[in-house]
Amino acid sequence: MYYNKGGGFGFLQMSESGIIPDNKVMIHWREIQSDDRWPFLNKEMEVEFNLAKIKRDGQHQMRAKNLTLKGGEKVSLQEDVDEKRVFVGERSLRYLGNVKFYNFNEGWGYVTLQQGYDIDDDVPEDLRIYRSEITPSADGAAPRLQKGMEIEFGPEKDFIFEFSRNANSAMFFYIYDKSFSFFKFFL
């Protein structure tokens, strides 16, 4: 099994060979039955799913649909991931910031932390944001963050690199755009 969390898709190896060509099938995050912010899979997970035949670019393909854990239970991995994260302040603490840049196609950007918070001087004003940490809207679409959009978030210290001015990311976004109405994404 291979799964690209940032891209929201992966490929599953069939346990029985000969059912579909190459014995692997694509899975899209929308087809993972889960309550996680951005559903994903880990390597070596045992799952079950339905197969669907779709037509794309004039070609028929097989895709996985309605994926669950073996036995029908929803996939639930986000809580385990969050337990290992190190947050700026308390895990439930939220800050306001404005989107500085966001590349929807690549799924990353930066948010500028608003002034006035009593936080460590080592926390930079600009924090990296990733699509995989933004919960899709109710219709399943990934939010299209716009420059200047005000958001509420909980910053995380990046545990891959030493905590520095260039190694922070933000997560848990609640999006507010003053030209529209309040959009709340449960993250």
Q: Identify whether residues 53 and 92 lie together within a single domain.
A: no
Residue 124 CA, distance from chain mean position: 22
Domain assignment present for residue 187? The answer is: no
Domain assignment present for residue 124? The answer is: yes
CATH of the domain at 99: 2.40.50.140
User: Domains in the chain: how many in total?
Assistant: 2
Q: Give the domain range for residue 7.
A: 2-76
Are the CB atoms for 124 and 168 separated by under 8 Å? Answer: yes
Query: Is the confidence at residue 98, as pLDDT, over 90?
Result: yes
Report the pLDDT value the prediction gives residue 4, as an integer from 0 to 100: 84
pLDDT band at 92 (very low <50, low <70, confident <90, very high): confident
Count of CB atoms situated within 10 Å of the CB of 171: 20
Q: 136-163, pLDDT tens digit by residue?
A: 666 767 778 899 998 887 777 753 233 3
pLDDT band at 135 (very low <50, low <70, confident <90, very high): low
Q: 44-67, pLDDT tens digit by residue?
A: 899 999 999 988 889 888 899 999
CA atoms of 34 and 19, how far apart (whole Å): 26
Q: Identify whether residues 48 and 123 lie together within a single domain.
A: no
Residue 109 phi, psi (nearest 5): -175, -160
CA atoms of 98 and 147, how far apart (whole Å): 7
pTM exceeds 0.75, yes or no:
no
Give me the chain's average pLDDT, please.
78
Q: Identify whether residues 89 and 169 lie together within a single domain.
A: yes
What percent of the chain has a predicted confidence (pLDDT) above 90? 26
CA atoms of 68 and 72, how far apart (whole Å): 5
